[in-house]
Amino acid sequence: MELRQHLSLCVLLVLCTTWSANGGNILVWYTEGSHWINIKPVLETLINRGHQVTVLVPTVSMFMNTSEPSRFHYEPFNVSFSMEDMKRFLEDFLHFSMYEMDQMSYLQIYIRFMNLMKNNLYFNFKYLDGVLKSETMMKKLKQGNYDLLLADPIYLGSDLTAEILGIPLVFTLRFTLAHNFERHCAQLPAPPSFVPAAMSKLTDKMNFSERLWNFLFYALNDIVLNHILWKEADKYYSEIKGKPTSACEVMGRADIWLMRTYWDFDFPRPFLPNSQFVGGLHCRPAKPLPEDMEEFVQSSGDAGIVVFTLGSLVKNITTEKGNIIASALAQIPQKVLWRYAGEKPDTLGANTRIYKWIPQNDLLGHPKTRAFITHGGTNGIYEAIYHGVPMVGIPMFADQPENMIHMETKGAAVIVDYKSMKTEGLRDAINAVINEKMYKENALRLSIIHHDRPTSPRDEAVFWIEFTMRNKGAKHLRVQAHELTWYQYHSLDVLAFLLAVILLLILLFTKTCSFCFYKYCDRKKKTKRKAE
């Protein structure tokens, strides 16, 4: 019996080694929050396909828990700040976005925003120190023999690490302010005449004043980001490499950019062979609900249910807002499932149940779901698109207002302003998306666009990751725009040359003409004089 056990163990071992030899060895850069929610399903699919996945995790992380059982291998690295520092920063950011911003002048907002960005950078470089400046860590990574690094570029430094390790790099990105990274580092074209800058709250249909604003928005944000982010990043990169280095250029060496958006959510825009659009990575079919929840949902009858969440960051709202929301919910015929961790509002109706946590995707995919009330985070919106559920948006900060504008423009949502929200307004908005056919039809149309493609976004992302490993990079997809200066890119040198030639020709022409003219006049005068 012992022998047989040994034998089967040997067979298993042999199988395992050949199996992992076929699979790649993938290193994943640390991420937080919704970025992690998006990357995780991709990593699970990669593991299912026989790849090994190692995730870099800082010792201070708000979302990654290395003690939780998982199929990834976690590689922890040290950071020199505490969880309290991190939480304080996040709270500061939330407070600014939710309460301070609307009472400030533009100048105050600008100064406060610069400070927040500087703080964010400070944390970013502290994380980087834990990897790039730790000899133990770099030695470990070099010995890891990784085939590829997968990262979100908003957490700076993965590109430099990939370069030092000499391995291909695949980025996954939702967006950056005014598409700064995409335009300047990935060379993704974004003509300001029809590509609205990220966070500008514009759509792709712009009149003259909006196009003017869009143009300025791109330019102003480029100046700000150059001044704060890129200047500091260049300094850090140069220090590590020991020679002057442009961080944006290093970022631009990434092999593939997986953009976490698609034409169900975004407006059509030009793209490059190495940029793929994979919005909705985490979406999946609904699973059955917990028994008591299913019972509550079924009790709604033909009226159906409404799913309500303001996201994981907003834990509580003011008592006043809580009561406004609760009494609006109490006035609709549907049953409501509200994810909320704050105090129970006094005006809560019998049709509304509060939960600390809800299986959001499973609820959105439930046949009884009529509408989704959301803060407008991309992940929630994508789940609603996936299942074809119309939305009421109560956006609060960051990209949420803009995300909801996309959905409103595509006719699948109504937006309610959080700050001036009244019970009647919220109630009417919910009734509108449920009772006016247009919203449901448009939500279903977006759902069809989302599903009608050769492969699911997750499989597509996995394909491009495996493609990059198979080809040891994807430099053959890289546009030469990376090698050009800004005046070459816009053909300004060619235009200047052509202009010079044209001017020269005009000059020659006028000179010759005037020369002939004088000659002619001269001769006339001479003949005249002779005749006299």
Ligand X SMILES: *[C@@H]1O[C@H](CO)[C@@H](O)[C@H](O)[C@H]1NC(C)=O
Strand spans (E) along 375-515 = 391-393, 413-415
Question: Whole-angstrom Cα distance, residue 190 to residue 221?
Answer: 14
- Enclosing H/E stretch for 56: strand 52-58
Answer for the pair 151, 130: CB distance below 8 angstroms, yes or no: no
Task: Please provide residue 363's backbone torsions phi and psi, each rounded to the nearest 5 degrees.
Answer: -70, -45
Answer for the pair 173, 377: CB distance below 8 angstroms, yes or no: no
Binding-site ranges for ligand X (CB under 6 A): 65, 67-68, 77-78, 134, 136-137, 207-210, 316-318
Per DSSP, the chain holds a count of helices (H) and strands (E) of 20, 13
CB of 336 to ligand X, least distance (A): 21
Question: Whole-angstrom Cα distance, residue 181 to residue 233?
Answer: 13
Q: Which is nearer to ligand X, 48 or 316 (CB)?
A: 316
CB of 231 to ligand X, least distance (A): 28
CB of 392 to ligand X, least distance (A): 21
CB of 86 to ligand X, least distance (A): 13
Task: Please provide residue 50's backbone torsions phi and psi, each rounded to the nearest 5 degrees.
Answer: 90, 15
Answer for the pair 338, 354: CB distance below 8 angstroms, yes or no: yes
Question: Whole-angstrom Cα distance, residue 175 to residue 389?
Answer: 24
Task: Please provide residue 53's backbone torsions phi and psi, each rounded to the nearest 5 degrees.
Answer: -125, 125
Q: How far apart are the first and last CA of the chain?
A: 137
Q: Which is nearer to ligand X, 85 or 210 (CB)?
A: 210
CB of 483 to ligand X, least distance (A): 37
> CA–CA distance from 441 to each of 97, 168, 301, 370 (Å)?
33, 43, 22, 12
Q: Which is nearer to ligand X, 254 or 405 (CB)?
A: 405
Helices (H), 399-456: 400-409, 423-435, 437-451
CB of 264 to ligand X, least distance (A): 24
Cα four-point dihedral sign 39, 187, 386, 98: positive
Cα four-point dihedral sign 9, 15, 18, 20: negative
Q: Which is nearer to ligand X, 137 or 465 (CB)?
A: 137
CB of 207 to ligand X, least distance (A): 4
Q: Which is nearer to ligand X, 63 or 271 (CB)?
A: 63
Q: Which is nearer to ligand X, 126 or 253 (CB)?
A: 126
CB of 136 to ligand X, least distance (A): 4
Task: Please provide residue 57's backbone torsions phi and psi, each rounded to the nearest 5 degrees.
Answer: -130, 125
User: Which 8-state DSSP code applies to residue 476?
Assistant: G
Q: Which is nearer to ligand X, 75 or 466 (CB)?
A: 75
CB of 58 to ligand X, least distance (A): 11
Q: Which is nearer to ligand X, 137 or 310 (CB)?
A: 137
Question: Whole-angstrom Cα distance, residue 42 to residue 387?
Answer: 20
CB of 75 to ligand X, least distance (A): 8
Going by C-alpha positions, the residue among 180, 174, 172, 185 that lies closest to residue 197 is 180
Q: Which is nearer to ligand X, 77 or 386 (CB)?
A: 77
CB of 173 to ligand X, least distance (A): 27
Question: Whole-angstrom Cα distance, residue 48 to residue 278?
Answer: 19
Q: Which is nearer to ligand X, 79 or 462 (CB)?
A: 79
Question: Whole-angstrom Cα distance, residue 242 to residue 236?
Answer: 10
Give CA angle at 161 (155, 164), nearest 5°.
160
Task: Reduce the DSSP state of residue 220 to 3 states and report it.
Answer: helix
Q: Which is nearer to ligand X, 134 or 409 (CB)?
A: 134
Task: Reduce the DSSP state of residue 425 to 3 states and report it.
Answer: helix
CB of 62 to ligand X, least distance (A): 9
Q: Which is nearer to ligand X, 186 or 413 (CB)?
A: 413
